[in-house]
Homo-oligomer: A and B are copies of this chain.
């Protein structure tokens, strides 16, 4: 190991090959502090060639590699295990903007650039890179690709997978695959980039990507709506999409319980509506023409929906400031939950048509087993994706509640599975859901995944203990 570390240090320079516990510490835990591991070194190469050389050195020494970007993941995918016979390979120094092609609506950027930097590079040529997440200031391009990140604009623009045209990847062999294509159509064999997107660093290390850009919408219309039931929210989304198509850029469901936590814990958060309602929707439309025309279109659909009982009450924002206040209610749910105490979280998806049944069945099952349990449900219902979280009946008693994480998860995930849903809609598997995967995936599918893992990484050095 001394030789191995010496080789790394010779390659990268000592400042970029940390080996002391204090220096390594920030990279050995996830940002929420839920996972901590050990490593022989934390290395920070400066370019693809250095990444490839590090991988070759690791291969020769039989040392595992934990790829890491902004370290903002929620499932421990970028944190090493406790065993420690590995290095953390942090890509944050690979942050060059390699190319912007306005006419082709693409940019090519390295894995360590933050999502915000990619957005800014697009904006600089009057284009939109639509991926948008709470952590966009610190999460990195390689990480969002490796976790196939979702976020608040999936309804209109798709997941990260849909926004990637090409990849550069350092394979577990140390070879570099240059798949940085900027093509909308390319039917020349297997679409290999798809394997690395969402693979959480288990098949190779994404070092750069060619991303799709879009024209920038000029108009936005935002509404906060009260609906009687989740089924009516789904119906309302259908009406909006029939009238406005792709203009519907966000459609977020918020349960009253989630909203109350925001009122309680977040400064200056007030109810935009006067009554108390069971469910709310934050809906946003974006378009290219006049602001007024878009707002009129939204109001027309809402008026019809109100007449037909889809809508109890609602407000359309009349200024950017008001729209931002409405978004603030949605975006502070996680923070409010955190302040309330420990909560059990689930990131699930089901077909949109099954959202009402999911909420009913999971809610009943939980209430039956855990009387008084508080269900904090919210999320990207337009994508069939809910963050479906549970808080203990009253504040305090965290330890007892925490101990129930697994059994509560079982209740929720069994309902999800019976509705042909996913136990991880947008956060991935990492360390957190690795065992769940084998529970809910078919043996045929697990065998295919393990086969691919074995093919690409026969020595098992890429991010062991994650996903598979």
Interface membership of A321, Cβ < 8 A: no
A385 shortest CB reach to chain B, Å: 5
Which residues of chain B have C-beta atoms less than 8 A from A103's C-beta? Answer: 234-235, 238, 351-353
Contact B190 A195 (CB under 8 A): yes
Would you call A33 an interface residue if the criterion is a C-beta within 8 Å of the partner chain's C-beta atoms?
Answer: no
Q: Given A288-B243, A442-B177, decide whether A188 and B424 contact each other with a Cβ distance below 8 A.
A: yes
Minimum CB–CB distance from A452 to chain B (whole Å) comes to 6
Least CB distance, A334 to chain B, in whole angstroms: 18
- A189 / chain B contacts, CB cutoff of 8 Å: 198, 429, 437, 441, 445, 449, 467-468
A349 contacts B184, CB within 8 Å? yes
A444 touches B177 (CB 8 A): yes
Copies in the complex: 2
The 4 closest A-B pairs by CB, nearest first: A194-B194, A103-B353, A186-B422, A185-B425
Chain A, 409-427, CB within 8 A of any chain B CB:
420-427
On A, residues with C-beta under 8 Å from B are 101-106, 126, 147-148, 150, 154, 158-159, 161-162, 171, 175-179, 181-192, 194-195, 197-199, 203, 214-217, 234-235, 238, 241-246, 287-289, 297, 349-354, 380, 383-385, 420-429, 433, 437, 440-442, 444-445, 448-449, 451-452, 455-456, 467-468
Nearest residue in B to A427 (C-beta to C-beta)?
A: B187
A78 to B327, CA, bound (A): 52
Per a CB cutoff under 8 Å, which of B104, B147, B194, B421 touches A352? Answer: B104
Picked from B102, B154, B194, the residue with its CB within 8 Å of the CB of A195 is B194
Q: State in angstroms the CA–CA spacing of A74 and B422 once bound together.
A: 38
- Which residues in B have their C-beta under 8 angstroms from that of A424? 186-188
Instruction: Name which of A242, A245, A425, A426 has the most chain B CB atoms within 10 A of its CB.
Output: A245
Contact indicator B159/A162 (Cβ below 8 Å): no
Other A-B pairs, 12, CB within 8 Å; known A192-B445, A451-B455: A103-B235, A103-B352, A154-B185, A159-B184, A181-B420, A184-B352, A184-B385, A185-B426, A187-B198, A188-B440, A242-B288, A245-B288
Which of B287, B354, B420 touches A245 (beta carbons < 8 Å)? B287
* Complex interface: chain B residues within 8 A of A217 (CB): 245
Residue of B with least CB distance to A293: B293
Q: Using Cβ atoms and an 8 Å threshold, which residues of chain B touch A349?
A: 183-186
B448 A183 Cβ-Cβ under 8 A: no
A203 to B215, CA, bound (A): 37
On whether A288 and B244 interact (CB within 8 A), knowing A177-B444, A187-B426, A353-B104, the answer reads: yes
Q: A215-B242, A245-B288, A425-B185 are in contact. Are A190 and B452 (CB under 8 A)?
A: yes
